[in-house]
Amino acid sequence: MKSIVLIGMPGAGKSTIGKLLSDKLNLAFVDTDRLIEHEIKQSIQNYLDVNGYLKLRSIEEKVILRENIENKVIATGGSAVYSEQSMNHLGKKAKIIFLNVDQNEIEKRITNFATRGITKRPGQSFSSLFKERQKLYMKYFDYKVDTTHLTIDATLKLVEKIAQS
């Protein structure tokens, strides 16, 4: 079975679904945001506040490129898709599943935008960020699951079916 990589906006359910899926499939679970925090020894938001989004993306790329992705379920940070090199690395040995959620639902799910560690250009609106990232997610996915109106269980069943196909 190929590894599974989950991509999508913050709040799409990547970490939640990833952990549940890894348990069901008996695969290791990796959350790249946790790998980044281990690397920088602080929260992503603190690092962003001091160093900016470009430095964080550089660390994210480094962390992803050195990760052995075999036999794993990997939940990426929402900005992983900005690195073509990272996405090519992930795509070599994994099925990339885009957990798509419409913008209004993301805004309902995430109430802590200012402290969530979301990488964006200074002054960039969430709407602009959403549109920008949607194009990148569309570029890299192998499978797309629209989770806007799905429960966690329903999403998990769909993603598990893809993983086992």
CATH of the domain at 9: 3.40.50.300
Q: What is the pLDDT of residue 121?
A: 80
**C-alpha pair distances (Å), 101 with each of 1, 10, 11, 58, 71:** 26, 10, 8, 26, 26
Q: Which domain, by its residues, includes 76?
A: 3-163
Q: What is the pLDDT of residue 116?
A: 60
4 has which bridge partners? 73, 95
Residue 120's CB is within 10 A of a number of other CB atoms, namely: 18
What is the Cα–Cα distance from 111 to 52, expressed in whole angstroms?
A: 21
Q: What is the pLDDT of residue 112?
A: 66
What is the Cα–Cα distance from 54 to 103, expressed in whole angstroms?
A: 24
Intervals of the chain under pLDDT 70? 112-117
Q: What is the pLDDT of residue 31?
A: 97
Q: Is 71 left (phi over 0), alpha (psi -120 to 50) or beta?
A: left
